[in-house]
Chains A and B, each alone.
Chain A
Amino acid sequence: MFKKKIQIENAVRKLRFNNDEMTQQQLAELVGVSRQTIVAIEKYKYTPSLDLAFKIALAFDMEIQEVFFINQ
């Protein structure tokens, strides 16, 4: 069961727009990464480390599972 590759999705784009239309650059500066990394995360091309995932969740003042989730 756990050997199957899982697709981790996120609600970063939606949450940015719900937070006064926060720009990718603003979020990137808030969590200490480049804007390109935020772009890659939003497109599901890059799965962030646990550390970065928590930072992003904290930036939106949300729980990590509300921002990052598995698409079954």
Chain B
Amino acid sequence: MNIKIRNTMAEITGASVAMIWMWLNLSEASIMTIQAVSKVLAQGIGGSIILIIALHIVFNILSSIITGQYEEDVDDERDKIYELYALQVSSAIFGVSIVATLVLLGWFNLTIISGLIAITFSGFVASILSLLLKIYLYR
């Protein structure tokens, strides 16, 4: 497994763990206040960033121990192109999700809390799908 795939895997793991943590903490969202829901979402987003950084470090340390050599992560034109593809996918998914959430909010007369949760989770799903695309391209 090369360093690019390893780093992308770290990002997917971090985002997935944060998503699961938020899902578990929002199991009673229907009786939670908007402040409590926002707090969980903010903690989830912040936690995912910290977790991704920590996983990057852990994955690279483990890889260096296993292979016995340090692999430097050099960014070049291929990374920029793949990053652009991933950004296109995540933007498209996130954009469609926001529009769909807003339409459904009005259509089914849902609460703001539902919209907030749906938009945050769609952001995470868009991010994970774009990272999976990057793994496919780096394979």
Q: Footprint of B on A, CB under 8 Å? A: 28, 32-34, 36-37, 40, 46, 48-49, 51-52
Say whether chain B's binding surface is mostly helix, strand, loop, or mixed.
helix
Cβ-based interface call for B74 (8 A): yes
Total number of B residues with any Cβ neighbor in A under 8 Å: 11
Most buried by B among A32, A36, A46, A52: A36
For B138, list chain A residues within 8 Å (CB).
Answer: 36
Q: Footprint of A on B, CB under 8 Å? A: 2-4, 73-79, 138
Report 18 cross-chain contacts, Cβ distance below 8 Å, ordered by A residue: A28-B74, A33-B74, A33-B76, A33-B77, A33-B78, A34-B4, A34-B74, A34-B75, A34-B78, A34-B79, A36-B3, A36-B4, A36-B78, A37-B76, A37-B77, A37-B78, A49-B77, A52-B77
The residue in chain A whose Cβ has the minimal distance to the Cβ of B73 is: A34
A51 to chain B, nearest CB (A): 8
Q: With A36-B2, A36-B138 known to touch, is A46 a contact of B78 (CB < 8 Å)?
A: yes
Give Cα distance in the complex from A40 to B137, angstroms. 10
Give Cα distance in the complex from A33 to B3, angstroms. 14
Residue in B3, B74, B75, B78 whose beta carbon sits within 8 Å of that of A40 in the complex = B78
The residue in chain A whose Cβ has the minimal distance to the Cβ of B3 is: A36
Q: Could you list 15 further interchain pairs (A-B, Cβ under 8 angstroms) beyond the known A28-B74, A36-B138, A37-B77?
A: A32-B76, A33-B76, A33-B77, A33-B78, A34-B73, A34-B74, A34-B75, A34-B79, A36-B2, A36-B3, A36-B78, A46-B78, A48-B77, A49-B77, A52-B77
A52 to chain B, nearest CB (A): 6
The residue in chain B whose Cβ has the minimal distance to the Cβ of A28 is: B74
Give Cα distance in the complex from A36 to B74, angstroms. 9
A69 to chain B, nearest CB (A): 20
Closest 7 A/B residue pairs (Cβ): A33-B76, A34-B74, A37-B78, A36-B2, A37-B76, A49-B77, A34-B76
